[in-house]
Amino acid sequence: MTNQISAAPSKSITSHIHTKPHFITVSKLITIPALPRTSPKINSYTMIDFGVIGTSTISHNFAAHAHASGQWNLRAVYSRSKVTAQAFASKHGQGQSPKIYTTIEGLAGDESIQAVYIASPNSLHYSHAKTCLEGGKHVILEKPSTSTSAELATLFAAAHSHGVLLLEAHRHLQEANFKALRSGLPLLGAIYGASLTYASYSSRYDAVLAGAEPNIFSLEFSGGSLVDIGVYGVAAAIALFGPPKSATYDPVIVATGVDGGGPVVLRYEGFAVTVLQSKCYTSTAPSEVYGEKGTLRVNGVTDIDSVEFVDAKTKAVTKLGGEKCKYNLMEECVEFARIINSRDHEEAAKLETLSKEVLKVTEKLRKDNGIIFAVER
């Protein structure tokens, strides 16, 4: 079934993509690396005192990479378990003593913090973010933003009314090499299509096969492959090409009732983008964008360490971008700190539009396949 998603690509998302790129041209058989880029450019701003909701691996990474950026100070940690929160604070406190909270309201009311990073289970994103925004805190909300578009619209309205920013953490879109890929699009001439792949077998799928229901594979917690892994490819496509005209999804439904993966096809004027994604198998295939004049090739849609343009006629390879950042959330941390400190409402508005368009697509794809979250019943 073809799902009508949106009209032509949104200028607000794609207007900044056609910047003039800097290239290093190499022969068909020789590769010359671009200048190494081990860390993003870091501007001198006031450090942001922040709190964390959730103590999973991604929260540990964000806290570590935020500190490494020199832009953030961890001041508060929330967990339902005081012991868990204390262990997290001890690991990332940088010699300080972050406050420990076992209620969201307590953390949201802490006047010593300006922002909160939220990486709780998906179904809790809305209530946790709403409480923090209403408490006057900027919110960095781990993807997927919320379970529904209605929830997300309410959160942005709350952010606007309280004079704070809500930023969804699509970390891969802030990678320098993703921006190099985007800047390389004019090399292609007419675009003929793209294949964006991110499929990685989840250790939690073992639990599903054993009869359990981990959060990420649970309708109760708004889980599934599309919103966890597929969102990388969908967000990348929309960041590169704008919202699709229509979209379809053919998922594999696992025992818990969520999708375990499958191909997503996003249709544009004159071409289509295939997003291959799954948490039930692993793919080592590259991601590519195809055009009249050649192909842009990357090793993946996230953690990109190689960006190449392959000339359609000569097969000569041009290297774009450079060495990927050592810490894969640092570029996001630096950019979000810049947006908050400089009150860059123009860039925040672009990211808001992107978040809304991504969720609009994934929500409709879910519902068209009968994947209904508990919060929607």
**Model confidence pLDDT, tens digit, residues 28-55:** 322 222 323 445 555 556 899 999 999 9
Check whether 222 has a pLDDT greater than 50. Answer: yes
Q: Please compute, for residue 85, the number of CA atoms within 13 A of its CA located in the half-sphere on the CB side.
A: 22
9 and 137 in a common domain: no
* 349 in any annotated domain: no
52 and 27 in a common domain: no
* 82 in any annotated domain: yes
* 61 in any annotated domain: yes
104 and 11 in a common domain: no
Map residue 345 onto helix, strand or coil: helix
Number of domains the chain is built from? 2
* 217 in any annotated domain: yes
113-148: pLDDT as tens digits = 999 999 999 999 999 999 999 999 999 999 999 999
Over residues 367-371, the mean pLDDT reads: 98
CATH code where residue 227 lies = 3.30.360.10
Q: Which residue has the tokens 């919110």?
A: 139
150-201: pLDDT as tens digits = 999 999 999 999 999 999 999 999 999 999 999 999 999 999 999 999 999 9
* End position of a domain, from candidates 144, 171, 198: 171
169-183: pLDDT as tens digits = 999 999 999 999 999
* 356 in any annotated domain: no
Which residues are CB-neighbours of 95 under 8 A, at least 6 positions away?
Answer: none
Q: Which residue has the tokens 């200048």?
A: 35
**Residue 124 lies in domain:** 48-171
* 109 in any annotated domain: yes
Contact between 362 and 247 under an 8 Å Cβ cutoff? The reply is no
The pair of structure tokens assigned to 242 is: 């704008």
Grade residue 341 by pLDDT with cuts at 50, 70 and 90. very high
Contact between 168 and 355 under an 8 Å Cβ cutoff? The reply is yes
Name the pTM for this structure: 0.88
| Ramachandran assignment for 69, one of left (phi > 0), alpha (psi -120 to 50 degrees), beta (any other) | alpha
* 122 in any annotated domain: yes
Nearest to 69 by CA among 52, 45, 36: 45
* 240 in any annotated domain: yes
